[in-house]
């Protein structure tokens, strides 16, 4: 499980991680309710910023060029997440 480094909120399951070829950790879906999206017009372009729904920390940006089943690419700054190993059942 990938968690927000600032508050510990569960953000992404490792099952949704994929190799995007960008050098950034990429996921095709977030945990329901874990993120907020907002328009980002910085750097002379329009993008969709991804924020932690709990604490508002910047996580990265969302693009519409990801794989199935969502077609989305949550492009994440690796310093914004902690990876937590889940206990085996």
State the catalytic residues: 75
DSSP state of 69: T
Strand, helix or coil for residue 42: helix
* Rounded CA Rg of the chain: 13
> H-helix or E-strand containing 58?
strand 58-63
């Amino acid at each position: 499980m990938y968690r927000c480094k600032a508050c510990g909120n569960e953000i992404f399951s490792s099952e949704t991680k994929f190799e995007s070829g960008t050098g950034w950790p990429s996921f095709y879906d977030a945990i329901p309710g874990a993120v907020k999206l907002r328009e980002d017009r910085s750097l002379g372009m329009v993008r969709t910023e991804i924020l932690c729904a709990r604490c508002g920390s910047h996580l990265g940006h969302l693009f519409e060029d990801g794989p199935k089943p969502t077609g989305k690419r949550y492009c994440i700054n690796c310093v914004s997440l902690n990876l937590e190993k889940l206990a085996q059942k």
